[in-house]
Amino acid sequence: MVDEQEEGQLRRSPSCDSLFGGRDEDFDFESPAQSPPQRTPVSPASPLGGEWTHIGISDVLPSWLGSDPTAGLSWGKAGLAVYPRWTISPELESIAETLKLTMGNNQDYTVRLLHEGALSKLYAVSVGGRDFVMRVCLPVRPGAKTEAEVATLGWVKQHTPLPVPRVIAHDSSRENPLGFEWVLMSKVEGTPLSECWCSVSLGLKERLVKQIAAFSAATFRQPFRGGIGGIFKTASASEAETDADADADAYVTGPFPSTRDWIRSRLQVATANLASRLDRAVDGDEEGEALRRMLDLARRVEALMPRFLPSHEPNPVIETEDDIADGRGTSERTMLCHDGLSLDNILVNDTGILTGVIDWQCVSCVPVHEACQFPAFLRQAYDRFAEPMIPRYFIDADGPPYKAYFRDLQRWEMTRLRQLYVEEMMRLAPGFVDVWRDERSAGLRDYEAAVQNCDNEFTVEIVEEWVRAMEGGRDPARMPKRLHEALER
């Protein structure tokens, strides 16, 4: 129930007539985990009218580009972590020149850097007085990642009620004056919810959770059968989404027809990478010991696979006997899952109304047992069911509440919102909740968490403890806390 102030905010909101606002029809998509299409130059007719455009090949290429498909990319190291980094920074003038090829020369262009991420940089672009956002991408999974992001945004806009950026134009090659892949999108106005959480009323947060639940229900009701990986607009096979560094790219083949294939490939990536780095480590140093420990853990996690993923044994909550495909595994249902749906990626206007969800560059189709759980922004290590009372948190009678009050208040609000999300999913898509509560599905999420974190130096002890318990025959449901929940921050 919203109070009078919230009702006033809703009346002032452009979204007050509809929970989600208007929807634009877009284009149809084929099955998921498909390869990007061959680049066919098309006419950039009226790109500002809203239709996405794939630009043609430019004759003006940067001199540094050469024939190396990964030019501009190198891999850095911070402790035991490996991360991508730019060796050549995109030039603002080159961005403007690239856009002129598709937008035309008869308009004014301004470009400024907005944000630097691990895999891309975001730029604010003004074209003839209209504002856009442009993502310039490092060549990690060249071509495929950009095409998958474009296809994903189009699918979400067409098949779900969630407001997302609209793709105006893109180039998944590097044959342009900029020398990098890029995507030009409509600008989503708003502030990240992480920056204004305390100023948004609980009633409006509940409204937002209902919107996210409607999105989750829509994706659950529209599963894919093409494998685990990114979605593309064409019908030939391609790589699937994976978290692999440069040393392990050769081990990733995707799309993956089953969870077994997906997890086996990721463990091969992890063990190959750890073994390679261990070979280069200095004997007796701390880094070498840590790498050896994680390599041993990854192999122990792999040895547990038959327990959690026995061959040819369908889970009746997730698939049926008719879904058994061949000797490689099952033709599993998958669903599109934004696993980075954090408070940073949820934008609201100054009245607290959802304006859009951003950052879709690594979103992919995953098994339903992995997707059917809380979105990232609703995950927390433990719940608080009692509302914090302000008087208990005052430092002195005249001072402000101690900062622990706001921490506990957010935890209490999150608990309320988590309960609401479950209630909404039970109403909109009860099958989603059936998968979520299924014991075998929960066990698979635990095993997936072990796979994801076995080569993470910050979580290795938690995973080791769980692996020891599983090796000893413990029931994962009888552990003090589910592994995937214990690893939540």
How do the pLDDT tens digits run along the chain, 489 residues long? 444 433 333 333 333 222 222 333 332 333 344 444 444 333 333 334 344 444 444 556 776 777 788 899 999 888 778 889 999 999 999 999 999 988 888 889 999 999 998 899 999 999 988 999 999 999 998 999 999 999 999 999 999 999 999 999 999 999 999 999 999 999 999 999 999 999 999 999 999 999 999 999 999 999 988 789 988 875 433 333 333 333 333 323 347 888 999 999 999 999 999 999 999 888 778 889 999 999 999 999 999 999 999 876 565 556 544 444 443 444 688 999 999 999 999 999 999 999 999 999 999 999 999 999 999 999 998 899 999 988 777 766 666 677 888 899 999 999 999 999 999 999 999 999 999 999 999 999 999 999 999 999 999 999 999 999 999 999 999 999 999 999 876
Domain boundary among 167, 188, 209: 188
Does 13 map to a domain? no
Does 9 map to a domain? no
Q: Are residues 204 and 180 in the same domain?
A: no
Q: Are residues 199 and 184 in the same domain?
A: no
Q: Are residues 140 and 285 in the same domain?
A: no
Is residue 410 within 8 A of residue 202, CB to CB? The reply is: no
Domain count, the chain: 2
Q: Pairing state of beta strands 53-54 and 334-337?
A: unpaired
CA proximity to 41, closest of 212, 169, 223: 169
Hey, what are 259's tokens? 């969870």
Does 10 map to a domain? no
Tell me the per-residue pLDDT of 330-381, one tens digit each, with 9 for 90 and over.
468 899 999 999 999 999 999 999 999 999 999 999 999 999 999 999 999 8
Q: Are residues 365 and 437 in the same domain?
A: yes
- If phi over 0 gives left and psi between -120 and 50 gives alpha, with beta otherwise, what is residue 142? beta
How far is the C-alpha of 378 from the C-alpha of 409, rounded, in Å? 14
Is residue 125 within 8 A of residue 132, CB to CB? The reply is: yes
Q: Are residues 295 and 368 in the same domain?
A: yes
| Spatial strand order in the sheet of 130-137 | 53-54, 167-171, 181-186, 130-137, 120-127, 109-116
Entry field: residues in the chain = 489
How far is the C-alpha of 20 from the C-alpha of 91, rounded, in Å? 37
How far is the C-alpha of 341 from the C-alpha of 337, rounded, in Å? 9
Domain boundary among 170, 188, 206: 188
Range of the domain at 241: 194-486
Q: Are residues 151 and 229 in the same domain?
A: no
pTM over 0.75: yes
Instruction: Please report the pLDDT score of residue 48 as a whole number.
Output: 41
Instruction: Please report the pLDDT score of residue 47 as a whole number.
Output: 39
How far is the C-alpha of 159 from the C-alpha of 226, rounded, in Å? 17
Q: Are residues 168 and 288 in the same domain?
A: no
Look up the CATH number of the domain holding residue 131. 3.30.200.20
Peptide bond into 142 cis (omega under 30): no
Does 2 map to a domain? no
Q: Are residues 176 and 200 in the same domain?
A: no
